[in-house]
Structure 1
Amino acid sequence: MTDTVAYPVGTPGRAWGEAELAQWRARQARRRRYDEDVLPRIERLADRFERVCYGRLDYAGEAYDLWALSTRAWDPALPAALVTGGVHGYETSGVMGALAFLETRAAGYAGRVNLLVAPCVSPWGYERINRWNFDAVDPNRNFRLDGPSREATSLIALVQPRLGQFVLHIDLHETTDSDESEFRPALAARDGKPFEPGLIPDGFYLVADAEAPQLAFQQAIITAVEAVTHTAPPDTAGEIIGCPVVGHGIIEYPQRAYGMCPSITGAPYTTTTEVYPDSPRATPQQCNDAQVAAVCAALDFVLARPA
């Protein structure tokens, strides 16, 4: 079934131009603060990790420095792992989970792996609780060198000097009810296409790389997270968000073809977490804890593999 209800911006059947983009921007109010919620926690971690400013965004006079935290004594002889959060700024537990991992669990991996963590890739989106950036671009479909997302190209530039060292990249996300009520309708309106309603899965799931799914790795993460929150079941078609389930709580996307964040390192082990914060069976703290559990399970699995 196709929903023909018009999104508040634009004309059904016609892709947005500059006027519609300006109208959409006018609807995006700052609802929380990157400099209050995120930056102080990054600063407090400076005694344990090297802070790396890897870019600066300036959107209509609003500037955001992009920060990552790195193992201070980076050892090229050790494997490296990239953890990213807030690629979609509205997905709160991705940001908070990445920070909580650094604050509470990262020390346990010292001397075993080099860590590079970018906890809030899209600060403008974080403040507006939005999936897109200032240009109505989805960063997680534009991770390519010539892409239109400055959030994505800045992160690519950050990891490029260390390509070949990464064995793991875990990207922390959420699937929310607002995907169906706001962001998918907005996408259809932006592109001049009809909105096709879908279902929001109730629970945690993972998105593996269709080209290298590493299902045992994905399953190890699912098992660890089930101690914190429940796994999303498939729908009656055996799918989650329109994709066939290939393992318990696991679906696949072609990461590189879709321009997704986990494609940027070439790591053999990659995954995208998807927490469900709107479930009546999960609290915000459980969502944050689930992200931390996922990162630790991913690291534990990779570090247990033969060198």
Structure 2
Amino acid sequence: MQTTTAQAAYPIGTPGKPWDEAEIAAWRARQVKQRDYAQDVLSAINALRDTFDVTSYGALDYAAEHYPLFAVRTRSWDDALPTMLVTGGVHGYETSGVHGALQFLREHGGDYQGRANLLVVPCVSPWAYERIHRWNPDAIDPNRNFREGSASGEAAALVALLAPLRGRVLMHIDLHETTDTDESEFRPALAARDGKVYEPGEVPDGFYLVDDTENLQPAFQQAVIEAVAKVTHIAPPDAKGEIIGSAQIAPGVIAYSLRQLGLCAGITQARYTTTTEVYPDSPRATPQQCNDAQVAAVRAAIDYALAHG
């Protein structure tokens, strides 16, 4: 495919020219609500109120739509205990991140009573969750904007929630997916939005992790990979030894500069950080298996952090 043809194939924008407000509005008008945040997520969070503290950390208002934001915390929070942070749904279309976080709380949240403080934010981006999309309604990717003064309301709200805990979180795991639509929709849209050439990539078949180039923790990442490998398959590198364009530094592990890129896992400067990437479109994985993989990753991450401090 020719690069100019690839970009022109996206239905919005002019090749070589970044989107203006009219084009963002045209893109937004194409986004259709496909599922319900209140029904799917808020109801599941409310069901946890008997055993956890559920706290509001803000709300997002987009046109006539109102989205309250909630975090789930250990009820008997103890500042003397290590704090473990789990975030999901930074990208709304990455379904197992949301439902894996909720499943972890239901099935295993009580396992850490008296051993750790848990703080879980199951769905950072509710508008995008409903539309099965990566961006917010302003065509902004929250996961490049986790910094002070963020233009993303989703990112700004989470940064504010976590500001008092900066330097006090031992482990932060951010739950994501890499899907076939990354190549069929989201990366072409990104190129069109920014007026750049879309260069096709390869979607890895399997689970992988993203470490922090400024704080590599290979043994921690390996512990998570080993736990997830019991649930689903780990992504192999491509012919270049890469996963989504980055060098594999260990089986199923690549690394990004988390804080420089404004990624969610870099917010708190935790000692142990990782971003999970589940592949839900694999013929070898079911939706439940994807949720189970996220749960296995969370448990392994917390257990490793507790064992190694």
TM-score class, shorter-chain normalisation, is: over 0.9
Alignment of 1:117-132 (within 5 A): 117-132=120-135
Given the alignment of the two structures, is residue 102 of structure 1 paired with residue 105 of structure 2, yes or no? Answer: yes
Residue aligning to 1:58: 61
Residue aligning to 1:41: 44
Considering only aligned residues, what root-mean-square deviation do their CA atoms show, in Å?
0.8
Residue aligning to 2:155: 152
Given the alignment of the two structures, is residue 178 of structure 1 paired with residue 196 of structure 2, yes or no? Answer: no
Given the alignment of the two structures, is residue 291 of structure 1 paired with residue 278 of structure 2, yes or no? Answer: no
Residue aligning to 1:139: 142
Q: For residues 183 and 219 of structure 1, what CA distance do their matches in structure 2 show?
A: 29
Q: Secondary structure of the equivalent of 2:45?
A: helix
**By how many angstroms is 1:192 displaced?**
0.2
Whether contact under 8 Å (1:2, 1:196) holds in the other structure is no
Whether contact under 8 Å (1:76, 1:165) holds in the other structure is no
**By how many angstroms is 1:61 displaced?**
1.5
**Normalised TM-score (structure 1):** 0.98
Residue aligning to 1:254: 257
Residue aligning to 1:32: 35
Q: For residues 265 and 2 of structure 1, what CA distance do their matches in structure 2 show?
A: 42
Q: For residues 51 and 106 of structure 1, what CA distance do their matches in structure 2 show?
A: 13
Q: Secondary structure of the equivalent of 1:38?
A: helix
Change in CA separation of 1:148 and 1:228 when aligned onto 2, cut-off 3 Å = same
**By how many angstroms is 1:162 displaced?**
2.1
Q: Secondary structure of the equivalent of 1:25?
A: helix
After TM superposition, what 4+ stretches of structure 1 lie above 3 angstroms from structure 2?
none
Q: For residues 247 and 2 of structure 2, what CA distance do their matches in structure 1 show?
A: 21
Q: For residues 252 and 239 of structure 1, what CA distance do their matches in structure 2 show?
A: 11
Residue aligning to 2:16: 13
1:12-48 deviations in Å (ceiling 9; x for gaps): 1110001101100010000000011000010000011
Q: For residues 210 and 47 of structure 1, what CA distance do their matches in structure 2 show?
A: 40
Residue aligning to 1:75: 78
2:288 maps to a residue whose letter is Q
Q: For residues 276 and 221 of structure 2, what CA distance do their matches in structure 1 show?
A: 10
Given the alignment of the two structures, is residue 199 of structure 1 paired with residue 202 of structure 2, yes or no? Answer: yes
Q: How many residues align?
A: 306
Query: Unaligned 5+ residue runs, structure 2?
Result: none
Query: Unaligned 5+ residue runs, structure 1?
Result: none
Residue aligning to 1:268: 271
Q: Secondary structure of the equivalent of 1:251?
A: strand
Q: For residues 173 and 215 of structure 2, what CA distance do their matches in structure 1 show?
A: 14
Q: For residues 91 and 36 of structure 1, what CA distance do their matches in structure 2 show?
A: 17
Q: Secondary structure of the equivalent of 2:185?
A: helix
**Normalised TM-score (structure 2):** 0.98
